[in-house]
Structure 1
């Protein structure tokens, strides 16, 4: 039983370790990458909005303020990309990342050119660039990024489903093992009880009762045995009871015989027998 319990615990430990590893991958890689990709997508939206604002604004102070925001978001987006490069483990994700990075320089150059036109008060040229070349580069860049996000989402869902299935499988396996352990435990207990009862020759309480009767001197007690039982404890006790009863009977008979002889030796002779024997 101890070995079965140890095996069940070891199996549960292995399953928990596997589920823990999958949860760790899910939280530290899959979900983290999803958040980074979404963060990069949001940064691109902010950058596009700021570039359009630079193409529309004419007030120098507002233009300078918007350009400062643009520079800050561009820097943040570059940091997100660097964190993605470090965090990506999947070969397929690296392929997607390479495609994104191949399209990024031309797109960033178009953004910077539009922003600079806004700073130079060339709003018309900035608008033409935004609606023409920049829009085409933006579409290609976002398509590549969205493909990467979709692939990462599928991987995240697959890992989550795998973890859930592993948990369900581990729970079912542990339940089955526990039931098997319970059944085996009951079977072993039944076998041990049956063996003990077989060695005793009956119920333990009955064997104790017979032993107490014999110990109290009741050698006439009837010992109920199974048919053909000659080897159990009850059978041995019955044989012992019978032997003791025989010994006690023999001792009693011997004592009575001795008492009878002694009584004869000390009994006085009759008078007529003494007279007949005189000369």
Structure 2
């Protein structure tokens, strides 16, 4: 499509404009020749002759440009036809101008001869213009068709890209939910609760889910709960042991006191025995004396 648009803009339309300018130049020559026939002032006639000469030179430049830029075989053929009939036309124009500038009244221009010479020239120019118009229309229609096809293709590609983007987004979301084990918002809530020390919250898992983040977090929560329970039980055991040690310590502190009391009681008993022995000895002694 880009090549067709470039061909349309840079070559076909340009050749059409050049051909139109060429046709305008030939018209200008014919108009100037007619003006020379109407003017009585010789100076005005000289001005028209200058216009004719400059226009013929410009037409020659335009024909050279068209020969260089034309690529259509039909266009080349028409340019060849124009090059064939133009010399006779130019000769007729120059002869008409020379007659009009002549001071001999009998040598006034014969416009009929020039008109007969310019008929094939104008016919060829009209054919060239028609060819360039048809080529421009053909290229424009082709470019429009390609543009429409390109637009349809772009629309199709856009729809495919949209569908593909939606599919990719769905797959990403599905993969993310699968890796998380649930919706991201729910996973965030559970993470915050566990981070705050709430180990009693039940975590909802999908059936047979053992590899998601929520499944791993549920395992971690269970492990933490078991560790906390073990720590609690250990703390209770330590507290019980401490109580028992305290009781034992109290018992140990009471035993020396009880032993001291027992010793005092023993000493008192020994004292009583000693008194009884002395009393018995005294009695025996008294009895011995009485026996003597």
The reply to whether TM is greater than 0.5 is: yes
Distance 2:45 2:242 in 1: 146
User: Greater Rg, structure 1 or structure 2?
Assistant: 2
When residues 230 and 65 of structure 1 are mapped into structure 2, their CA distance, relative to the original with a 3 A threshold, is closer
Partners of 1:223 and 1:234 within 8 A in 2: yes
Paired residue for 1:166, among 134, 146, 155? Answer: 146
Deviation at 1:109, TM superposition (A): 1.4
Match of 2:75 in 1: 93
Please state if 1:82 is matched with 2:101. Answer: no
Aligned pair in 2 of structure 1 residues 121, 164: CA closer, same or farther (>3 Å)?
farther
Equivalent of 1:73 in 25, 30, 55: 55
Q: Which residue of 2 aligns with 1:107?
A: 89
Deviation per residue, 1:189-235 (Å, 9 max, x gap): 11111111111111222222222222222221111111222221111
CA contact (8 A) 1:55 1:114 kept: no
Q: Across the two proteins, how many residue pairs are aligned to each other? A: 253
Q: Which residue of 2 aligns with 1:4?
A: none
Map of 1:215 onto structure 2: 195
Deviates more, 1:254-263 or 1:223-232: 254-263
CA offsets 1:223-248 (integer angstroms, 9 cap, x no match): 11112222211111112211221222
**Is 1:55–1:124's contact at 8 Å kept on the other side of the alignment?**
no
Q: Which residue is 1:263 aligned to?
A: 243
Query: Helix, strand or coil for the counterpart of 1:223?
Result: coil
Match of 1:156? 136
Higher relative contact order (CA 8 A, sep 6+): 1
Aligned-residue offset at 1:55: 4.2
Question: Which residue is 2:275 aligned to?
Answer: none
Cα 1:123/1:169, change in 2 over 3 Å: farther
Which is further off, 49-58 or 25-34?
A: 49-58
CA distance in 2, matches of 1:59, 1:218: 117
Aligned partner of 2:167 among 179, 187, 190: 187
Pair 1:199 & 2:187 matched: no
Separation in 2 of the partners of 1:93 and 1:209?
80
d(CA) in 2 for partners of 1:88, 1:126:
40
Q: How far apart are residue 265 of structure 1 and its match?
A: 4.2
Q: Pairwise mapping of residues 128-143 of structure 1 onto structure 2 (< 5 A)?
A: 129-131=110-112, 133-143=113-123
Q: Is the 8 A contact 2:102 2:108 kept in 1?
A: no
Aligned ranges 1:28-47 → 2 under 5 Å:
28-47=10-29
**2-side partners of 1:53 and 1:241: how far apart?**
110
Q: In the alignment, is the contact (CA less than 8 A) between 1:37 and 1:149 conserved in 2?
A: yes
Tell me how far apart the structure 1 counterparts of residues 230 and 49 of structure 2 sit (CA, whole Å).
126
TM-score (norm. length: structure 2): 0.75
Tell me the equivalent position of 2:232.
252
Aligned to 1:118: 100
1:13 maps to none
Q: Matches of 1:156 and 1:240 in 2, distance apart?
A: 78
The farther-off stretch of 187-196 and 249-258 is 249-258
Change (3 A) 1:116 1:262: same
RMSD (Å), alpha carbons: 2.8
Instruction: Determine helix, strand or coil for the equivalent of 1:229.
Output: coil
Distance 1:60 1:216 in 2: 114
